[in-house]
Chain A
Amino acid sequence: MNIAFWIISAVAVLGAVLAVTLRNLVHCVLALILFFIGIAAHYFLLRADFLGTVQILIYVGAVAVLILFAIMLTHNVTGVDGPKELLGVKWWSGAAIAATLAILLKKAILSDPLATLLPAGDKAQSSVAEIGKALVAGWVVSLEAIAILLTAALIGAVVIALEEIQKS
């Protein structure tokens, strides 16, 4: 495994750890954005350019903005980041549950034959055309179902907003 993998993983794990431990919610979201960018970098490392770019476009550009808006509409988000109670009872019980989950997940993932395949590395080609063809030819039913779901969500949002306007 090359050095790039370890650096990107370190950045992503740092982002994830900060996202769950910081007190100030806006800082948590910024750490989460760092994590998303780390995952996108992993995708680029695996030569899945399209997926990495879509990760940035959707997660950083839309989902993170959504979370920021949601936080903005909440009260009492700005706690102070500082030293807090480390290594208390809650921390140990949480760590124990996380360790158990990690061991079980590792066993489950590694028992699948797909997991032992090494990543294609330099032999992989960027496959935007393949993805496009697969979506329209093979998985068209799923594509249309997702489209209907998104349209329904959009119409639902408009209806809720319309009710608010009509009420006031």
Chain B
Amino acid sequence: METIYQLLHVTFANVPAWTVQVAAFLIPIAFIFGVYPAIFALTTLVERKALGRIQNRYGPNRVGIFGILQPLADGLKILLKEDIVPRVADKFTHFLAPVLIVVPGLLVYLVVPVAPGMVAVDLKIGVLFALAVGTMSVIALFMAGWASRNKFSLLGAVRAVAQVVSYEVPTVMAGVAVIMAAGTLSTLTIVERQGGGILNISNWYVFRPWGLVGFVLFVIGGLAESARCPFDLPEAESELIGGYHTEYSGFKFALFQMGEYLAGMAMAGVTVTLFLGGYMGPGSGPGLVGSLIAMLWFFSKLAGMIMLNIWIRGTWPRLRVDQLMGFAWKVLLPLALVNIVAVGFWHFLTPRPLAWVVTTGWLVIWFLVLTKCNASAILEKREYRYV
């Protein structure tokens, strides 16, 4: 916002100051409201087509050429559906829950930088804001399950809340490793720290040992927080018995889907910012051409993360709820703590090769120890008598 304010202030020097301020305030918000829901609509189509190709079939290809008008058709269909509210449901809470799911998803985009200097709000505590706002969606899940006055919705909501809350902890701690290495909580500065190096690529935090582990933890946590496969137990319950969005139909259901996808893309955006170098890539720098290239890099990386999410969705089976919780508390949390210690080693060991060796060795040893300790959770190969 500051950059846009400077640009507008310079070009339109003779309009009153308050119009420039309002414009500098509205342009990033218009960008967020325009671009990210459009990416959401495109993602629904790309996901269906990519899942189709993985499963040896075409995705939707009837509506426009290559099915490009399918999101429009879906949107029209869901707008025209009847909005049914159960008679005994708590009307106010039932109405408010879909709204409260979408709002935190959109708020995270305020601190994700898309080009040098182009972040909607340059908070000094950007990363913390993103993570804190992400936890606000927990309330909405619970409200949705409670307001439906349905035992199964309540159970689904309780499980969803437990899942989101458990996976927040390793996610935040994986982010802490990056914060320690960068020395700041501001997302813009973190991205700038990942510039330089060979082709603006070799300084990305994902290419460091602790960064790779942190990246894996953050991706898993992001999948779990937006309840996507393989952690989509809340959604699976909605196929089987209920789940927190059973009693919703019509546009409220669309808002649930939108909130879930927006939260997933927001987590992907934060992952790109923290680990994959944000908008850094060969050719991104200040100036108009550099900014455009940087924006291209950012959206390519975001698209790559979304494709990774879709790939994972098409491949891995769903985890059961006890496997899910065990995974979060017994494997991911100790690994996140070990990762923080590894960043400490990296920071204080001065000869770089020594730091590489010690950090990598520390992480590998702890990974093997943790998988060995949790080996009882993995099913052994079974012997079948009448095969």
Interface residues of A (CB under 8 A from B): 24, 26-27, 30, 33, 49-50, 53-54, 56-57, 60-62, 64-65, 68-69, 72, 78, 126, 128
Contact = CB atoms under 8 A, between A and B. Distances in A.
Contacts of B136: 56, 60-61
A60 B143 CA distance: 13
B301 to A, nearest CB: 26
Interface string B128-163: 110111011011001100100000001000100100
Given A27-B92, A49-B124, A126-B125, 19 more contacts: A26-B90, A26-B93, A26-B146, A30-B93, A33-B139, A49-B123, A50-B125, A53-B125, A53-B129, A53-B132, A54-B132, A56-B132, A57-B128, A61-B132, A61-B138, A65-B139, A68-B146, A128-B124, A128-B185
5 contacts: A26-B90, A26-B93, A27-B93, A30-B143, A61-B168
Chain B binding surface, main DSSP class: helix
Contacts, number: 61
Given A56-B133, A128-B185, A68 B139 contact: yes
Contacts of A56: 132-133, 135-136
B7 interface: no
A62 B133 CA distance: 12
Interface residues of B, number: 25
Contact of B139 (A24, A27, A49, A60): A60
Contacts of B143: 26, 30
B138 A24 contact: no
Overall SS of chain A's interface: helix
Contacts of B133: 56
B85 interface: no
Contact of A65 (B128, B131, B142): B142
B339 to A, nearest CB: 19
A68 B142 contact: yes
B285 to A, nearest CB: 28
A126 B124 contact: yes
A65 B90 contact: no
B165 interface: yes
